Amino acid sequence: MYANQKGRLIMGRQQESKKYQLGEAFIILLRQEPLEKITINQICNQAKVHRSTFYRHFEDKFDLLRFCFQAFMLENLDSQNVIRSIVETIDGDHKLFRNVLINNLDVNLIDLMIDLLTETIIEGYHGQLRSEKLQNWLNSFLNASTDINMTARMLAGGILTVLSDWIENNYQLSPEKIIEYFANFEEIFN
C-alpha cells in the first residue's frame, strides 16, 4: 500500500492482484468441495501464495467469500436486469453455488450469507453500489420501511431461501420461472 497526495492508503496493483488471485483460487476450490471443508492452506496452495499473503488481505475464508461475492458476482451483474443476471450466474455454475449454499453442515453459513446479502442491500440503499437499477429496485423496498436493517434482512432471507431451494431441488424450475417469480414479487411491493 502507498499513500496518495491526500494521505489515504491505496492498494498497489500487485497487492490488488494477489487479492484477486486468492479469490480465483477460492472459486476453483468451491467448485470441487463444500465451503466448510476448504482450508486456508488449500486456498494458498491453489493461489501459489504464502499464508501471510492471505492474512494480509483477509481475516478468514468467510472474509474471502465476502470479497468474492462482491468482486466476482456483484461487480458483474447486468445493471439493466439484476434478477436475471443473478439467476443466470447461479444457473451457469451449479457446482459452486451448491457447495456454498447446500453442501455444508455448518448452519451458521446461511446466516453468514444472509448477513452478506443484507450488507449489500443496505449499501445499495445508501448509494454505494454501481448499479443504478439495483439501487432503484432496493429503494422501492426500503424507502417505506420504518426499520431498514430488518427489511433488508427479510429481503435477503427471502431471496436466499428461494435460490437455495431452487439449487437444493436440482434446478427443477427453469431460470425463467425463477426470474418470473422475482418479477411478480417485486410487483407486489411496488
For 69-123, the pLDDT digits (tens) are 888 877 777 766 777 888 898 899 999 989 888 887 766 677 888 888 888 788 7
Residues 119 and 183 in one domain: yes
Query: Looking at the domain assignment, is residue 65 inside a domain?
Result: no
Residues 112 and 149 in one domain: yes
Residues 106 and 179 in one domain: yes
Number of domains, the chain: 2
Query: Looking at the domain assignment, is residue 52 inside a domain?
Result: yes
What's the rounded Cα separation, in Å, for the pair 132 and 147? 22
What's the rounded Cα separation, in Å, for the pair 154 and 170? 25
Domain containing residue 41: CATH number: 1.10.357.10
List, for residues 109-167, the tens digit of each pLDDT value: 778 888 888 887 887 777 766 566 667 777 777 888 899 999 999 988 998 899 999 99
Query: Looking at the domain assignment, is residue 17 inside a domain?
Result: yes
pTM for this model (two decimals):
0.75
Its domain, for residue 8, covers: 1-60
Please report which confidence band the pLDDT of residue 3 belongs to, taking 50, 70 and 90 as the band edges. very low
Query: Looking at the domain assignment, is residue 11 inside a domain?
Result: yes
Mark which of 34, 60, 86 sits at the end of a domain. 60
Q: Which residues contact 74 (CB under 8 A, 6 or more apart)?
A: 120, 129
List the one residue out of 99, 143, 110 whose CA is nearest residue 124.
143
What's the rounded Cα separation, in Å, for the pair 104 and 107? 8
Round the average pLDDT of the chain to a whole number and report it.
83
Residues 22 and 52 in one domain: yes
Amino acid (1-letter code) at residue 187: E
